[in-house]
Structure 1
Amino acid sequence: MEPCRVLALCTSVLALTCLLVALSTDYWYLVIGAHFTAHSGIWSKDPSESVRGSVRVTQGFGVVAALWGVVAVVFLGMSYIPALSAPGRGPIVSCFTAFAAALSTVVALAVYTSMRWSQPTHAQIQSLFSWSFYVGWTSTVLFLITGSLSLGAHFRAHQTSYDNM
Structure 2
Amino acid sequence: MELCRSLALLVGSLGLMFCLIALSTDFWFEAVGPTHSAHSGLWPTGHGDIISGYIHVTQTFSIIAVLWALVSVSFLVLSCIPSLFRLGHGPLVSTTAAFAAAISMAVAMAVYTSEWWDQPPHPQIQTFFSWSFYLGWVSAILLLCTGALSLGAHCGGPRPGYETL
**TM-score of the pair, normalised by structure 1:** 0.93
Counterpart for residue 29 of structure 1: 29
Deviations 1:16-46 (A, max 9, x none): 0000000000000010111111100011113
Query: Given that residues 88 and 159 in structure 2 are in contact (C-alpha distance below 8 angstroms), is that contact kept between their aligned partners in structure 1?
Result: no
CA distance in 1 between partners of 2:137 and 2:114 (Å): 15
What does the per-residue CA deviation read over 1:103-143, in whole Å, with 9 as the maximum and x for residues that have no partner? Answer: 00010001001111122211111110000000000101110
The aligned residue for residue 6 of structure 1 is 6
CA-to-partner distance for each residue in 1:81-117, whole Å, 9 max, x for gaps?
2232121000011111111101000100010011111
Q: Are 2:88 and 2:158, in contact at CA under 8 Å, matched by a contact in 1?
A: yes
1:47 deviates by: 4.8
Pairwise CA distance, 1:154: 0.3
Count of residues in correspondence between the two structures: 162
Q: Give the unaligned 5+ runs of structure 1.
A: none
- Give the structure 2 partner of residue 145 of structure 1: 145
**Cα distance, 1:159–1:82 mapped onto 2, change above 3 Å:** closer
Percent identical among aligned pairs is 51
By how many angstroms is 1:49 displaced?
Answer: 2.4
Residues 42 and 69 of structure 1, relative CA distance in 2, 3 Å threshold:
same
Runs of 4+ in structure 1 deviating by more than 3 angstroms, as ranges, are none
In 1: Cα distance, 2:64 partner to 2:45 partner: 21
Question: Superposition pairs for residues 105-144 of structure 1, below 5 Å?
Answer: 105-144=105-144
* Normalised TM-score (structure 2): 0.93
Root-mean-square deviation over aligned CA pairs: 1.7
Matched AA of 1:61: F
Deviation per residue, 1:36-73 (Å, 9 max, x gap): 11100011113552200010000000000000000000
Match of 1:78 in 2: 78
In 1, Cα distance between equivalents of 2:46 and 2:90: 41
Secondary structure at the aligned position of 2:43 is classed as coil
Structure 1 residues 103 and 7, CA gap change in structure 2 (3 angstroms):
same
Q: Deviations over 1:128-161 (max 9, x none)?
A: 000000000010111011011000000111369x
| Residue identity in the other structure for 2:148 | S
